[in-house]
């Protein structure tokens, strides 16, 4: 029996915070050149809507999606170590153009190299990721549980004389995770470092960031595999999160 080429995924994400996020995602994977159609809403706002064409070694994408800047920014929220992204990531990725923007994108993964190039309204963005042999990441995840990998990433974007750029390093080994990312523009610069560990169904993490305000995130735990409950201490303020993937 051939495998069903269609894949449907529903992700619900809720934050006990100042805002709520509901993410409905549908993937239609086909055996011919059109490999993916994705439409995502955040609340009532259209967040993603794009077509993805598989050309064997390369993919072409047209529509509204994230520009290839920042590893943390590109990582799906359900694969993050902390459900709150660093402030420097939120600031820098929205410079030049909004982070989710109509664009033409080409991307590929060849051996130990992954790259993406995008163009949108006279702005250009690019990202390179390097992996070590036998430590190649499948997908993108900042959580400690999973296959070992090592990656080094470089990001750059330009619009006229304005620019943004970044450097990131990530490592997962024996259900322990470390990542560092530095981002800057003409007006902003900052960095964060985080570590995490998974054992016996529990996950803990620690992150420190500087640049756009200084903050510290500490203590996080998960229960179950598809429903996650998180408690974070953010600058001495306790916050709770519930996430579900079905």
Which stretch, 17-21, 39-43, 148-152, has highest mean pLDDT? 148-152
- DSSP secondary structure letters along the chain: -PPP--EEEEEEEEEESSS-B-BEEEE---SSSEEEEEEEEETTEEEEEEEEEEETTEEEEEEEEE-S--HHHHS-GGG-SSSSPPHHHHHHTTSSS-SEEEEEEEEEEETTEEEEEEEETTEEEEEEEEEBTTBPPSS---SSSSS-EEEEEEEEEEETTEEEEEEEEEEEETTEEEEEEEEEESS-EEEEEEEEEEETTEEEEEEEEESSS-EEEE-----SSSEEEEEEEETTEEEEEEEEE-
At 117-150, the pLDDT tens digits run: 999 888 999 999 999 999 999 889 988 888 999 9
At 69-84, the pLDDT tens digits run: 999 999 987 788 887 7
Higher pLDDT, 48 or 16: 48
For the chain, what percent of residues have pLDDT higher than 90? 29
At 194-231, the pLDDT tens digits run: 988 888 777 788 888 887 655 555 544 444 445 555 66
Q: Where do the domains of the chain lie, and which CATH numbers do they carry?
A: 7-245 (2.40.160.10)
Going by C-alpha positions, the residue among 152, 143, 216, 204 that lies closest to residue 181 is 152
Distance between CA atoms of residues 66 and 54, nearest Å: 18
Flag whether pLDDT at 177 surpasses 50.
Answer: yes
């Amino acid at each position: 029996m051939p495998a069903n080429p269609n894949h449907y995924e529903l992700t619900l994400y809720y934050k006990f915070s100042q805002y709520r996020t509901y993410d409905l995602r549908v993937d239609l994977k086909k055996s011919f050149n059109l490999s993916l159609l994705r439409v995502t809403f955040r609340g009532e706002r259209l967040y993603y809507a794009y077509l993805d064409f598989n050309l064997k070694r390369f993919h072409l994408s047209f529509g509204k999606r994230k520009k290839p800047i920042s590893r943390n920014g590109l990582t799906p929220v359900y694969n993050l170590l902390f459900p709150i992204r660093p402030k420097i990531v939120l600031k820098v990725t929205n410079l030049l153009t909004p982070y989710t923007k109509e664009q033409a994108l080409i991307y590929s993964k060849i051996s130990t190299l992954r790259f993406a190039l995008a163009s949108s309204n006279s702005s250009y963005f690019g990202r390179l990721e390097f992996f070590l042999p036998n430590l190649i990441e499948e997908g993108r995840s900042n959580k400690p549980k999973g296959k070992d990998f090592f990656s080094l990433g470089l990001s750059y974007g330009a619009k006229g004389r304005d620019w943004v750029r970044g450097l990131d390093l990530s490592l997962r080994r024996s259900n322990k995770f470390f990542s560092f990312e530095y981002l800057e523009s003409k007006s902003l610069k900052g960095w964060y470092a985080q570590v995490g560990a998974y054992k016996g169904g529990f996950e803990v993490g620690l992150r420190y960031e500087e640049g756009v305000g200084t903050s510290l995130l500490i203590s996080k735990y998960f229960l179950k595999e598809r429903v996650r409950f998180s408690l974070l201490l953010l600058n001495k303020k306790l916050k709770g999160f519930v996430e579900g993937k079905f």
